[in-house]
Amino acid sequence: MKFKRIFGLVMDSVGTGAAPDSIKYGDEGADTLGHVGEHFAGKLALPNLAKIGISNLRDTPIEGVPAATDPHAYYGKMQEISAGKDSMDGHWEMMGLPVRKALSTFPNGFPADIIDKLEKFSGRKVIGNRPESGTKIIAELGEQQMKTGDLIVYTSGDSVLQIAAHEEVIPLDELYKICEYARSLVNGPEYLVGRIIARPYVGPDGQHFTRTANRRDFTLEPTDETDLNRLQDAGVHVVGVGKINDIFSGHGIDEGYHNESNMDGMDHVDHVMQEDFTGFCFINLVDFDAMYGHRRNPEGFGNALMDFDKRLGTVMANMHDDDLLMITADHGNDPTYRGTDHTREFVPLVVYSPSFKQGGSLGIRSPFSDFGATVLDNFGVKGNNEGHSFLADLK
């Protein structure tokens, strides 16, 4: 064992340039980090990420974020092989389980048999039923939902079924039960959906509705063993922060924390860093994606990156010599791009430990499973046949 604790931190949706297969997804030219940097015109301040190579891994540095001359960290990019570009695909692939068969998507809304069953189970009418931005459809139909108690059902370019309801009209427990039932309808074989997402919101009217942190993802059960299971079975302690628990349906996780926001998530990271354990802490920070990427808000996205960078400085200062920090993303979501969906991009890979005597390039790693293979290798656990460990490259 080289490191006692590994912290794997996923900056949800922080891509770093169009992947080679981006044209297949209609995402050619997407570049989340690059375009956010351009939006800030040199004023994007990410000193801690810069210090450990976030611009070194790119062909051209992020505007305002210089490449480090002596990063004392390792950096590269990861390229996805999964058939989708959703959070579930990215996280599962990181943990040794690429999604090779495309999941069901619904560009024309959900079929009548699913909607009829939802209405019968819930005793509520379904409205919406189309691909749409969540904030837009809630602003449009939220007042009607408050008056009638209907369910706002919608989807996106990803394999998701989302159900929105005002928290004062449909209690959270009821909304979650409806989502659990929806989950049971799309586990195959006819329809196989990656995630059912409960989208509660609050506010008095269409101009003031806001989605709350009581979102909950009901993810397809992992179709096979993941690296989290392998670690847990080997007696390695596994901590999940943010929506990790939802993405893996609780499998392979010993200790879990729900995030209210990115900063709440970083509070949980600070807390876990104070614990004395041997194992892996897997973290997802979703605000980049949910609050700014889908809403095509580059200003908010950049501010969230700068807020994260400040908290990253605290994490780095508190790391022990036998700690390893691995920062990456699960997909892109370029806030300057057309539409409102995720974007198929390379994702950054930045790896740091205070014990490093040098740094350097890890190149382009594919599949994402190299990430999990490295974690397993560190703890002497076998079983990830998809990825290749880069542990030996870390010196």
CATH code of the domain in which 275 resides: 3.40.720.10
Residue 173: per-residue pLDDT: 98
Q: Is residue 329 part of a domain?
A: yes
Question: Are 286 and 357 members of one domain?
Answer: yes
Same domain, 214 and 225: no
Number of domains in the chain: 2
| Extended strands (E) in the chain | 5-11, 74-78, 126-131, 151-155, 160-166, 195-202, 210-211, 216-219, 237-241, 255-257, 279-285, 323-328, 347-352, 360-365
Is residue 254 domain-shared with residue 182, that is, in the same domain? no
φ, ψ dihedrals at 172, nearest 5°? -55, -40
| 72 annotated to a ligand binding site | no
User: CA dist 105 to 40, 83, 131, 217, 245, Å?
Assistant: 35, 12, 10, 17, 23
CATH number at residue 142: 3.30.70.1250
Please tell me whether 166 is known to bind a ligand: no
Question: Domain boundary residue among 184, 219, 254?
Answer: 219
Q: Are residues 33 and 172 in the same domain?
A: no
Q: What is the pLDDT along the chain (395 residues), one digit of tens a residue?
A: 999 999 999 999 999 999 999 999 999 999 999 999 999 999 999 999 999 999 999 999 999 999 999 998 999 999 999 999 999 999 999 999 999 999 999 999 999 999 999 999 999 999 999 999 999 999 999 999 999 999 999 999 999 999 999 999 999 999 999 999 999 999 999 999 999 999 999 999 999 999 999 999 999 999 999 999 999 999 999 999 999 999 999 999 999 999 999 999 999 999 999 999 999 999 999 999 999 999 999 999 999 999 999 999 999 999 999 999 999 999 999 999 999 999 999 999 999 999 999 999 999 999 999 999 999 999 999 998 999 999 999 99
One domain for residues 329 and 375: yes
The answer to whether the annotation marks 294 as part of a ligand binding site is yes
Confirm or deny that 388 is annotated as ligand binding. no
Residue 105 lies in a domain: no
Cα separation, 34 vs 375, whole angstroms: 29
Looking at the structure, tell me whether residues 137 and 229 fall in a common domain: no
What is the rounded CA–CA span in Å between residue 299 and residue 41?
11
Instruction: Compute how many other C-beta atoms are within 10 angstroms of the C-beta atom of residue 15.
Output: 31
Looking at residue 101, its pLDDT comes to: 92
Per the listing, tokens 């209210």 go with 260
* Separation between Cα atoms, residue 164 and residue 201, nearest integer Å: 7
Q: Hey, what amino acid is at 27?
A: D
- Residue 106 belongs to a domain: no
Tally Cβ neighbours within 10 Å of residue 2: 15
Residues 257 and 366 both lie in one domain = yes
My answer on whether 267 and 208 are in the same domain is no
State yes or no: 289 annotated in a binding site.
Answer: yes
234 and 215 in a common domain: no
What's the pLDDT tens digit per position in 66-80?
999 999 899 999 999
Query: Are 285 and 181 part of one and the same domain?
Result: no
Q: Residue 263: what pLDDT?
A: 98
pLDDT of residue 299: 98
Strands 5-11 and 279-285: parallel
State the Cα–Cα distance between residues 365 and 255, nearest whole angstrom: 29
Confirm whether residue 267 is marked as ligand binding: no
The domain of 157 spans: 112-219
Domain co-membership, 209 together with 259 = no
Does residue 299 sit in the same domain as residue 317?
yes
**Distance of alpha carbon 22 from alpha carbon 10, whole angstroms:** 21
First-to-last CA distance in the chain?
14
Tell me the pTM: 0.93
Q: Checking DSSP bridges between strand 323-328 and strand 5-11, what pairing results, if any?
A: parallel
